[in-house]
């Protein structure tokens, strides 16, 4: 009887021993680095990648060995579904445990990008592509996708005007829609309840505010002048006068070459505010907070005209006669071909 028990114990001990051996091997693998060279390795985990695909990528980049075993360990620990897409800065002397911890914590490298005031959606798309953060075409496609815009609370046909100028930190590999979502959320945050209440008090739509602000943004780079520019635009609109703004005409010209001509001013397009009264169909750029505030809190003036002094500032006038004198002084006598030398604000 004793011999039988002893034999049974030996048989039972074999799988237990195998488990112990395998467990010890897996534990050793989990702690063992790829090498001791501390080679920095940049790994970009694509959006939507499975953990097995990520493990294979790490193997190809020389960060972990035995990707199948790495995947099994991750599943055993419940970490295989925690991986965030993006760029990771790893090194070859990290153990699989350290690599898995960094991946599961989502410790992605973030890239700084500053979007200045006054850029168009097309310019922002190009900037994102230059930084390697997104495809220009994908950004432009997403920025005009009706279904996506509705999820952001935008009822218009484009995100033009609603991508807030600011400094952002984006992870490499982030989906283009998520980049745009972050910029629209920043707009919605900056356009706070106080501004919304001011807008409601005027009986204006958000689209009108943003469109006006985009023109103000393009007409001057001076924060101090923005409320004055806004007052001119609002005064002209209230009198049924055409805005006659060069930046709106330029926005409506495909592949503008930088030279606005009289022929351009006479060519019909929806954004030609020399030919069309009222506001253009939508924003012509993405304005900053100062321009938005200038529209909601314009200067209290009776100005209807302004002309550039050629030093970054403008001279404002109440009458066409005053304006013509200003044009003569600051534009025609200097032989300038800027907006003030054209028949701007002639009605």
- Quick one: average pLDDT of 231-238? 98
Q: Are residues 206 and 328 in the same domain?
A: yes
Q: Are residues 54 and 183 in the same domain?
A: no
Range in 18-22, 66-70, 233-237, 332-336 with the lowest mean pLDDT: 18-22
> Is 305 in contact with 277 (CB distance < 8 Å)?
no
Residue 111, helix vs strand vs coil? strand
* Percent of the chain clearing pLDDT 70 (strictly above): 88
pLDDT at 171: 86
- Quick one: average pLDDT of 113-136? 97
What is d(CA 58, CA 10) in angstroms, rounded to the nearest whole number? 41
pTM of the model: 0.80
Which of the listed residues 162, 190, 218 is the one where a domain comes to its end?
190
Domain that holds residue 53: 31-108
Q: Are residues 63 and 36 in the same domain?
A: yes
- The answer to whether residue 100 scores a pLDDT higher than 50 is yes
- Quick one: average pLDDT of 43-62? 90
- The answer to whether residue 82 scores a pLDDT higher than 60 is yes
Instruction: Looking at the chain, list the stretches that DSSP marks H as alpha helix, in order from N- to C-terminal side.
Output: 2-31, 51-60, 67-76, 96-104, 121-130, 136-143, 146-151, 176-190, 193-202, 206-219, 226-238, 246-251, 262-266, 289-296, 320-330
What is d(CA 85, CA 108) in angstroms, rounded to the nearest whole number? 8
Q: Are residues 120 and 177 in the same domain?
A: yes
- The answer to whether residue 19 scores a pLDDT higher than 80 is no
- The answer to whether residue 292 scores a pLDDT higher than 50 is yes
- Whether 15 maps to a domain, the answer reads no
- Quick one: average pLDDT of 172-200? 96
Q: Are residues 307 and 168 in the same domain?
A: no
- Whether 2 maps to a domain, the answer reads no
Q: Are residues 232 and 305 in the same domain?
A: yes
Q: Are residues 59 and 164 in the same domain?
A: no
pLDDT at 338: 38
What is d(CA 287, CA 163) in angstroms, rounded to the nearest whole number? 8
Q: What's the mean pLDDT when you consider all of the chain?
A: 87
pLDDT at 177: 96
Q: Are residues 211 and 327 in the same domain?
A: yes
Q: Are residues 218 and 285 in the same domain?
A: yes
The residues, ordered by sequence, that sit 6+ positions from 128 with a Cβ below 8 Å of its Cβ are 113, 134, 136, 139, 176, 179
- Whether 14 maps to a domain, the answer reads no
CATH of the domain at 35: 3.30.1490.480
Range in 1-10, 21-30, 57-66, 69-78 with the lowest mean pLDDT: 1-10
- Whether 12 maps to a domain, the answer reads no
pLDDT at 76: 87
Q: Which residues pair with 114 in a beta bridge?
A: 167
- Whether 243 maps to a domain, the answer reads yes
- The answer to whether residue 302 scores a pLDDT higher than 80 is yes
pLDDT at 15: 59
Q: Are residues 227 and 271 in the same domain?
A: yes
What is d(CA 247, CA 218) in angstroms, rounded to the nearest whole number? 6
- The answer to whether residue 332 scores a pLDDT higher than 80 is no
Numbers of helices and strands, H then E, in the chain: 15, 6
- Whether 213 maps to a domain, the answer reads yes
- The answer to whether residue 261 scores a pLDDT higher than 70 is yes
- Tally the domains of the chain: 3
- The answer to whether residue 310 scores a pLDDT higher than 60 is yes
Sign of CA dihedral 244, 281, 290, 336: negative
> Is 39 in contact with 62 (CB distance < 8 Å)?
yes
Range in 16-20, 36-40, 66-70, 154-158 with the lowest mean pLDDT: 16-20
Which of the listed residues 52, 82, 108 is the one where a domain comes to its end?
108
Work out the pLDDT band at 333, boundaries 50, 70, 90.
low
> Is 164 in contact with 286 (CB distance < 8 Å)?
yes
Q: Are residues 225 and 148 in the same domain?
A: no
Cα distances (Å, whole numbers) of residue 345 to 156, 159, 210, 279, 319: 29, 30, 22, 15, 10
- Whether 347 maps to a domain, the answer reads no
| Residue among 233, 216, 238 nearest 225 (CA) | 216
Which of the listed residues 108, 133, 154 is the one where a domain comes to its end?
108
Contacts 24+ apart (CB under 8 A), 45-48: 45/83, 45/84, 45/85, 45/86, 45/87, 45/88, 45/103, 45/173, 46/85, 46/173, 47/85, 47/173, 47/174, 47/175, 48/85
Q: Are residues 97 and 217 in the same domain?
A: no
What is d(CA 121, CA 310) in angstroms, rounded to the nearest whole number? 28
pLDDT at 20: 47
- Whether 19 maps to a domain, the answer reads no
* Percent of the chain clearing pLDDT 90 (strictly above): 60
- The answer to whether residue 8 scores a pLDDT higher than 90 is no
What is d(CA 194, CA 219) in angstroms, rounded to the nearest whole number? 25
């Amino acid at each position: 009887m004793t011999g039988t028990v002893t034999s049974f114990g030996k048989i039972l001990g074999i799988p237990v021993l195998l488990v112990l051996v395998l467990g010890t091997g897996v534990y050793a693998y989990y702690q063992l680095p790829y090498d001791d060279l501390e080679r920095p390795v940049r790994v970009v985990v694509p959006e939507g990648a499975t953990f097995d695909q990520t493990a294979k990528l790490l193997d190809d980049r020389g960060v972990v060995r035995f990707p199948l075993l790495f995947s099994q360990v991750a599943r055993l620990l419940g970490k295989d579904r925690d991986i965030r897409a993006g760029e990771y800065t790893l090194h070859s002397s990290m153990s699989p445990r350290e690599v898995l911890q960094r991946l599961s914590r989502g410790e992605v490298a973030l890239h700084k990008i500053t979007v200045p005031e006054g850029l168009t959606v097309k310019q922002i798309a190009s900037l994102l592509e230059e930084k390697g953060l997104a495809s220009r075409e994908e950004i432009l496609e997403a920025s005009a996708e009706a279904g996506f815009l509705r999820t952001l609370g935008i009822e218009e046909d484009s995100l033009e005007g609603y991508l807030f100028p600011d400094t952002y930190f984006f992870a490499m590999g982030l989906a283009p829609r998520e980049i745009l979502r972050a910029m629209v959320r920043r707009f919605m945050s900056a356009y706070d309840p106080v501004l919304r209440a001011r807008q409601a008090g005027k009986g204006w739509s958000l689209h009108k505010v943003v469109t006006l602000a985009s023109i103000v943004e393009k007409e001057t780079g001076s924060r101090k002048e923005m409320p004055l520019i806004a007052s001119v635009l609002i005064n002209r609109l209230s009198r049924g006068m055409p805005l006659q703004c060069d930046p709106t005409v330029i926005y409506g010209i495909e592949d503008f070459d930088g030279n606005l001509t009289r022929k351009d001013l006479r060519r019909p397009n929806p954004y030609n505010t020399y030919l069309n009264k009222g506001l253009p169909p939508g924003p012509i750029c993405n304005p900053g907070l100062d321009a938005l505030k200038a529209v909601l809190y314009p200067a209290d003036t009776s100005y209807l005209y302004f002309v550039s002094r050629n030093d970054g500032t403008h001279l404002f006038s109440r009458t066409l006669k005053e304006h013509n004198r200003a044009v003569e002084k600051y534009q025609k006598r200097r032989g300038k071909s800027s907006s003030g030398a054209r028949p701007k604000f002639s009605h």
